[in-house]
Structure 1
């Protein structure tokens, strides 16, 4: 779980530069019974400069059932848990203003009964001239609950990438420090050389003046 979250953070750092500060990273889909789980849901606006207002709803369809149950509604700043099976088990971890782009929630104390399909729905109003535009975005997260976390290949790769990135960043930092030190050292030597040349020139000028006085 830690390696997954680390990968999300790393991906968001790189991808956000291409999406105006918002990156649509997919949610993880495997939770461990008895632990917490982050149900991720992100819907980025196509134009960041356009102001907007959004609400987010979460629905849940248990494994083997056909109907979705409305379990959560967020309309800033109010968060409402609408299903008794999730009472005191859901926390809002999304955007903390009306212009919601991250609709992530955290599920505490996961049980095997939480297995199933989760649907996150954004109801967004874009304030455009002359008419407002209403947009609805749906994202599904199919959650499976296991007794023990599986060390999947993707988790291993993400952990390796995380450590590789850390090493690369450290090496880059060392190179920057070495470059800065050399640059500062060269500038210091250049200043000292200029001072020496200036002192030598002043000394020669003084000597010439003294020679001129003696000749007179």
Structure 2
């Protein structure tokens, strides 16, 4: 029994990674760093894929977005002078199958107030063909002088409960997967025994 459980721990994480689409916070403090959150979970984890993530920015009072950042498999590029040296990739690393496309803005200024658009250009490698999916998410950012301590505490508590729920669901999924795998192997072993007995 212990051998089967050990095998499950190796196999399951590749096909059942925990992913929860949590909205980005929207209030940054001037002079500090801020995480622009952007998560796009795949509906079917077992399907391999790759993604390019683009960030665009529209200043308050303007109508057009400007391209400010792009990430493609371990290569991040800042594309606008106003964000030069201030944007840092904080998403999925080490794999082309990006699901977290978050970026840090360092040394936030009041001029950073506005709308940020995060876009995933995802390719899914299906058995017979490739599928292309585009998913966009907006973040309305407001820059303030000081953080709201009550809001910060509430957000931290919500994030904690979200993380706990995701981990619990993942553990349940692992247990179900392991139980089915063990049951299937036991049935296969009994079938082989029965076949050998009939052949004798």
Q: Deviations over 1:67-100 (max 9, x none)?
A: 0000000011110000000000000010012100
Equivalent residue in structure 2 for 1:69, among 66, 71, 92: 66
Structure 1 length normalisation: TM-score? 0.63
Closer, same or farther in 2 for the Cα pair 1:162/1:59, shift >3 Å? closer
1:57 is paired with a residue whose SS is strand
Deviation at 1:55, TM superposition (A): 0.3
Q: Deviations over 1:2-38 (max 9, x none)?
A: xxxxxxxxxxxxxxxxx84111011000000000000
One of 83, 99, 111 as aligned partner of 2:109: 111
Which structure has the highest helix share of the two? 1
Q: Please give the residue correspondences for 1:139-150 in structure 2 after superposition, counting only pairs within 5 Å.
A: 139-150=137-148
Name the Cα RMSD after superposition: 2.0
1:17-28 correspondence to structure 2 within 5 Å: 20-28=17-25
2:53 to 53, 56, 76: 56
Report the TM-score when normalising by structure 2: 0.68
Cross-structure match for 2:154: 157
Taking CA–CA contacts closer than 8 Å with sequence separation of 6 or more, which of the two structures ends up with the larger relative contact order?
Answer: 2
Larger radius of gyration: 1
The structure-2 alpha-carbon separation of the partners of 1:158 and 1:37, relative to structure 1 and needing over 3 Å to count, comes to closer
Runs of 4+ in 1 over 4 A off after TM superposition: 158-164
Show structure 1 runs of 5+ residues with no match. 1-18, 165-216
- Distance change in 2, residues 1:160/1:127 (3 Å): closer
Distance 1:74 1:161 in 2: 29
CA distance 1:64–1:52, change in 2 (3 Å): same
Which residue of 2 is the match for residue 193 of structure 1? none
